[in-house]
Amino acid sequence: MAAAVLAADMAISELLSLVEFSSVRVIGDLLLLETGILTVLGGLVEFSQSIGVYEFRRLLFHTREETSPTRHKDASKRALMLFSAAMVLFLALVVLALRE
């Protein structure tokens, strides 16, 4: 996932460099934005399957939906994937900043 995002960032920065934008600066800005988005999405995925949210939905909507440890575990795996991709992008951003 992180590799695909980095490849897309490189392509976008090359296209914008044709219009007199600094490609290194564009990549840095995109990496920072994408790192933030992936981190927030990972937190939302983890939070959406937490026991507190299940209880809130049960009280608010009067549903009979039970908490499921397997659903919470699956959400944790998805969140970990998003956080890992965000950390890879953040490390790339740090390397780019140190190079600059």
How do residues 50-97 score in pLDDT, each as one tens digit?
878 878 888 888 877 777 778 888 888 999 999 999 999 999 999 988
89 domain residue, yes or no: yes
Give the total number of structural domains in the chain: 1
61 domain residue, yes or no: yes
Residue 100 CB: number of other CB atoms within 10 A? Answer: 9
Determine which helix (DSSP H) or strand (DSSP E) holds 19, and give its type and residue range.
Answer: none
13 domain residue, yes or no: no
Q: Which domain holds residue 67?
A: 2-6+23-93
53 domain residue, yes or no: yes
Determine which helix (DSSP H) or strand (DSSP E) holds 64, and give its type and residue range.
Answer: none
Task: Evaluate whether 20 touches 41 at the Cβ level (below 8 Å).
Answer: no
Question: Global pTM?
Answer: 0.74
34 domain residue, yes or no: yes
48 domain residue, yes or no: yes
